[in-house]
Amino acid sequence: MNALLRPGAMLAAGFLILLAVSALLAPWLLSASPWEMLARPLIPPFSDASHWLGTDMLGRDIATGLLYGARTSLTVGLLATLATLLPALLIGATAGYFGGWIDELLMRVAECFQIIPQLVLAVVLVALMEPSVGSVVLALALVAWPPVARLVRSEFQSLRQREFVQAALVLGQTPSRIAFTQILPNALSPLLVSLTFILAAAILTEAALAFLGLGDPEAMSWGYMINASRNLLREAPSMSLLPGVAILLTVLSVQRVGEALREAVQATGSQGGRP
């Protein structure tokens, strides 16, 4: 657990908690909509107390856009991570527990998804559907599940040989009960670590889709903010820089927390933390 108490990990976790709370409370913290034109266009940052991060080319408040963009990025990232978990668990657990031709078939299906670059596949899937939060979440889940399923498969293959699983077999427990009451709880630690990196990738991919114009047109997004200001890089570089920094800090913080979790899991495993 020492890895989780390191200053870097604690700072990253604190930033994510503060960002999540601020994004959750954005409608109460801010009186205006992120789409509302509040002042003259292109107010520089820190030059107006009412709009301390400035305004964009339409006079919309950039700070408001950043907070609502955090709502979109974190919501899509979390929903995509949860949506990734279900097929990954079912496919990985089935392949790892039963093995044989079932394992071969399911892993070949996973390879079909992994052949195509994730962003390309996500762009194609969202383009085929109507751009919305739901379609983006579905696309992200479909491109992200194969590596998680492989991890679950590996854990199940290792754990099914343990004595407690053999004892459950002798007692006559069904394969589904053994898989989800005996094996799965012992596979959760590395799975949770993997999901933090899936979350980081989902936030990045959502921003990329929004930048390409494939995000939800009714939801403010960091990627949309960068796309909208790309023609004003010389006149107002802060319009692109601020959402870009927000994406960078969020993804780095998620990955830092994930690294700390991975180190903690490895330390626990080396000390015989598993049954």
Domain ranges for the chain: 2-270
Share of the chain above pLDDT 90, in %: 40
Structure tokens at 216: 């939800």
d(CA 209, CA 68) in angstroms, rounded, equals: 17
- Model confidence at 186, in pLDDT bands (50, 70, 90)? confident
d(CA 14, CA 8) in angstroms, rounded, equals: 10
- Model confidence at 172, in pLDDT bands (50, 70, 90)? confident
Asked if residue 259 has pLDDT above 60, the reply is: yes
First-to-final CA distance of the chain: 18
Asked if residue 191 has pLDDT above 90, the reply is: no
pLDDT tens digits for 37-89? Answer: 888 888 899 888 888 899 999 999 999 999 999 999 999 999 999 999 989 99
CA nearest 29: which of 42, 18, 41? 18
Specify the CATH superfamily of domain 2-270. Answer: MetI-like (1.10.3720.10)
Asked if residue 266 has pLDDT above 80, the reply is: no
- Higher pLDDT among residues 219 and 4, named by residue: 219
Asked if residue 273 has pLDDT above 50, the reply is: no
Q: Residue 60: how many CB atoms within 10 A of its CB?
A: 22
pLDDT tens digits for 194-248? Answer: 889 899 999 999 999 999 989 888 889 999 999 999 888 888 899 999 999 999 9
What global pTM score does this model have?
Answer: 0.88
